[in-house]
Amino acid sequence: MNLSIRQKIFLSYIVMILFTMVVAIYAISTLKELNGITTTILFNFTAANEKLTKMNDDVLAQDLHEKRYLMLRQFDAENLFWERSRDFKAHLTEIVRTGRYDGSVTDAISASHEKYNAFFTKEVSLIRAGRNGEAEEISANELKASYNSVLSSLKDLNSRLKSQQDYQINRSNLLSEKSLMITTALSVFSLVFGILFAYLLTGHLNKAIIRLKEATDSIKSGDFDNFPEFQGADELADLALSFKQMSVRLKELGEMNLDANPLTKLPGNLAIEKELFTRLNDTESFSFCLIDLDNFKAFNDRYSYARGSDLIEWMARLLIRIKKEYGTEDDFLGHIGGDDFILICSPERVQKMCSRIIEEFDRGIIEHYDPEDAKKGFIISIDRNDKPAMFGIMTVSIAVVNTDRTLISEPKEVTQKVSELKQYAKSFAKSIYIMDRRRAR
């Protein structure tokens, strides 16, 4: 068949369009599937991990309330035990409802938890019957074994969730590799007809898929920062954005699980040590403040673990607000654990911020006590010798070390000095901040 140049060009464009359509249809379907996998990893597994963390917190809280009920006869601990039990079951039901996880594992968790609750019910009955020895034996043996079984089952589910997440990432890799091979083959075949436009198009797709594969491999290996930038507003850019959001979220969750305080979500010990080490290497001076609550243990024993946790959360919100109002973005706020917080700020602002913390703490702490205790100005709780004692309304002690007044080269020197100051500050029966005023010689 004799074809004119125009017809050949037209036919070439027809072939180019056909190949372009094939490439585009396949690429779009692949990208949608990859986007679906990314969405599954980002939302489904993230939500499941968060629920699993809450379940672990619930069973730990149950164990604490069980010990309080057994040892201290705090009968409100029984209600708190069953409240956390209901929370545990609600979170487990949400995980089961998704239908994505092995039913044998969730059934095992449910069975272990029901067994754990049954032993606690038996323990309560024995205590009410005055058979304390038998109750203590159940707590030390059957109840403890059931508690360990629940934790073991949660750990098993966590391992399976991670395995499923790895499977989805591997699936994404295989899909990327398959798409890469097919797209490359179509591109080579298109080059036979000399279609430059088709070559450029498939080359663009090929390059994009390679970069997405590299990004997927980086995420799989734990490198969440090595991600290429995509320009435009097409499906490739959307997919790249989804991958980037997944990477950022996974990195945040990893850092949160490893370091952040689970109650206040403030940076923990690793972040505090890193921040302190970084600032010591800088030339600018700073103030390191250790914020400690006095008589917190007595409050916790008197009013229960739950109210103690509420108070810690209130304290965290108070510090965050004061840092926002009187500090700058360069200031650092962390939570060591328990009732100890860390504030790092400029020496020019430290006295004002410490004074504001004390003022607002003293004004707000009274609301956390029962009215009758607040009126008396003290509570009756257990001291360190397990004997009843009087404890005044909680106060706050702040120990401050200024690097412009002391010669400090290592983080442990800061912690040593601030610990000494804290002990001195706690000797005062009021809220106070103590500042290290010794100059280096």
| Cα–Cα distance measured from residue 377 to residue 295, given in angstroms and rounded to the nearest whole number | 13
- Give the percent of the chain with pLDDT over 70: 73
Return the CATH number at 288.
3.30.70.270
Mean pLDDT of 219-232: 60
What mean pLDDT do residues 169-181 have? 75
pLDDT tens-digit readout, 299-340:
999 999 999 999 999 999 999 999 999 999 899 999 998 999
Residue 440 included in any domain: no
Give the model's pLDDT for residue 297.
92
**Average pLDDT score over the chain:** 80
Average pLDDT, stretch 263-268?
A: 90
For residues 251 and 343, membership in a common domain is answered with no
Of the listed ranges 191-195, 199-203, 307-311, 390-394, the least confidently predicted one is: 199-203
Q: Binning pLDDT at 50, 70 and 90, where does residue 396 land?
A: very high
R_g of the chain computed on alpha carbons: 30
**Which residues, including other chains, have CB under 8 Å from residue 262's CB and lie 6 or more apart?**
53, 57
Q: In the predicted model, what is the mean pLDDT of residues 17-39? A: 71
Are residue 285 and residue 203 in the same domain, yes or no? no
Four-residue CA torsion sign, 423, 429, 432, 438: negative
In a domain, 419, yes or no: yes
The two most distant CA atoms of the chain are separated, in Å, by 109
- pLDDT (0 to 100) of residue 83: 93
Q: How far is CA 376 from the centre of its chain?
A: 40
Q: Quick one: tokens of 160?
A: 């399976």
- Angle between the N-to-C axes of helices 46-72 and 76-97, in degrees from 0 to 180, rounded to the nearest 10: 160
414, 288 contact by CB (below 8 A): yes
429 and 290 together in one domain: yes
Same domain, residue pair 119 and 186: yes
Task: Look up residue 319 and give its amino acid.
Answer: L
Q: Which domain holds residue 184?
A: 1-258
The answer to which of 66-80, 246-260, 400-414 has the lowest mean pLDDT is: 246-260
Whether 441 is in a domain gets the answer: no
Both 323 and 206 in one domain: the answer is no
Tokens (6 digits) for 262: 């689970």
Is 120 within the bounds of a domain? yes
Q: Out of 233, 258, 283, pick the residue that ends a domain.
A: 258
Q: Which of 25-29, 266-270, 404-408, 436-440 is predicted most confidently?
A: 266-270
Give tens-digit pLDDT for 335-346: 998 999 999 999
pLDDT band at 232 (very low <50, low <70, confident <90, very high): low
The tally of domains found in the chain comes to: 2
Q: What's the pLDDT band for 223 if we cut at 50, 70, 90?
A: low
For residues 108 and 70, membership in a common domain is answered with yes
> Does residue 358 lie within any of the structural domains?
yes
Beta-ladder partners of 388: 382
| pLDDT, tens digit (0-9, with 9 covering 90-100), for 89-113 | 998 888 877 666 667 778 888 888 8
Structure tokens at 436: 């290290």
Q: What DSSP element (H or E) covers 111?
A: helix 103-128
Residue 243 falls inside a structural domain? yes
Token digits for 263? 């109650």
Q: pLDDT tens digits, residue range 355-377? A: 999 999 999 999 999 999 999 99
In this predicted structure, the answer to whether residue 143 has a pLDDT above a threshold of 70 is yes
* Dist. CA 426–CA 421, nearest whole Å: 9
Task: Return the pLDDT at 395.
Answer: 95
Count CA atoms closer than 13 A to 257's CA, side-chain side. Answer: 12
Tell me the pTM: 0.46
Taking 50 as the threshold, does the pLDDT of residue 5 lie above it?
A: no
Residues paired with residue 301 on neighbouring β-strands, in sequence order: none
- The pairing of beta strand 432-435 with beta strand 395-402: parallel
For residues 188 and 156, membership in a common domain is answered with yes
For residues 110 and 132, state if they share a domain: yes
Asked whether residue 439 carries a pLDDT value surpassing 50, the answer given is no
